[in-house]
Structures are given as C-alpha cells and as structure tokens.
A and B are shown apart, each in its own frame.
Chain A
C-alpha cells in the first residue's frame, strides 16, 4: 500500500492564481481531511469528508473548496490564491475518527508559497 499520497510536494503561486492540491489514499478509508500547518499554530483543519459525496467545513475553510467524488481522492482547490495561504498542507485519512481502533494517517505534505 502507498498509504496517503500528495502532489505536488512544492508549489509557488502568484496572488490570484488557482490550483488544486491532490490527495489520494489506497486504504479504503472513509474519512479524509485537509490541514494547514503554520508556525506556532499547529495543524488546523480546513475541510473534511466522511465519505464519497459528503464534505464539511473545518476550522479554517475560507478560500478553499473540496469535493469527494470517489473514496480514494480528496482534492483541495484554491480558487484565488492569497499570500495568507502560504503554508504547509497535509492530507490525512482514517476509517472513522472517534472509533477506539481508528488511526489517522498523514501524507508527506505540500509546501505552498503564494507571492
């Protein structure tokens, strides 16, 4: 199993450009999520999905869109990039959080810089 994969690893955008961060998992996990990591702020949840066709907002959803058309993929879209979105983005997946046996698996991250 590849686990959770993310592409690209690095990206530089100009203000106003759009792009999609890709995330895929091959563990048949129902739950997938996107976090951003900023210095001194830990990880903050952007959006999450509890299954194909179902998404919901997390703590910091503004400026980001998601969709979940398949169990495997959960792309994160930046419609009009802003310098405040400069961050490291992590995708994660798990069977279902809150279950005693569940574990959240993280991808390697995408480092995004918006100029």
Chain B
C-alpha cells in the first residue's frame, strides 16, 4: 500500500525566505512521487516529479525536491519565497505497478510581505 504524510497543514514564510514543505511517503514498492500546486479556485498543476532517474528533482517556478530513501522523504524547497507562491501544495505517490494516486492532505503556504 502507498500513502503520503504532509507535516504541517499551514506554513507561513516571509517573502525572500526559504520555503520547506515536508512530505514523507510509505510504499512497499518503488514509488513515483509528485508535488502539485493548487492556486485558489483552480485545479492542480504539476510542480515536479520523482521517477527514479535522479534523487534531486527540479521543477517549475524555482522549486525542487530531494528523494531520500533512507528517510522516506520527498520534501519540497525553494530558496527564496515570492508572493506568488502562496497556494496549497500537495504531495502524491503512485506505485510503479499501480493505477492509483494517493494524495497527502495538503499544506497551505502563506507568504508574508
């Protein structure tokens, strides 16, 4: 079975500060991991994905995430927060043999000017 846990339902950072959103996964088989962003009243948009090619994954808008098998983590980071980063962020997992995505409960990011 696969699942993800996002620590912190709300995260606030100052503009220009480091963004760190946490995601831990559970999977009995090699997983594929994803981060999605949802802006208000919109659908989800893919930020980045881990597909076993490289442990450090770079995505859109300056975000990146590192797959750490030993820690079963896939945390999302951005060196310098921008006001436009304020949104809901979801981590998701799918097994390489599976047909179902499992999403975390989401982290709402607030950027303080």
Residues of A at the B interface (CB closer than 8 Å) are: 4, 31, 33, 35, 40-45, 48, 50, 56, 58-59, 90, 92, 97-98, 100-101, 103-104, 106-109
Contact = CB atoms under 8 A, between A and B. Distances in A.
B101 to A, nearest CB: 6
B46 interface: yes
Interface residues of B, number: 28
B77 interface: no
The DSSP consensus for interface residues of chain B is loop
Given A42-B105, A92-B44, A109-B42, 4 more contacts: A45-B101, A56-B99, A90-B43, A98-B99
Given A90-B43, A90-B44, A106-B43, A40 B99 contact: no
B87 to A, nearest CB: 14
Interface stretch (B13-21, B49-57, B66-74, B78-86): B49-57
A10 to B, nearest CB: 11
B99 A48 contact: yes
B40 to A, nearest CB: 11
Nearest to B43: A106
Interface string B29-50: 0001010100001111110010
A100 B34 CA distance: 11
A3 to B, nearest CB: 9
Contacts of B46: 103-104
Nearest to A106: B43
Given A42-B106, A43-B90, A98-B96, A108 B43 contact: yes
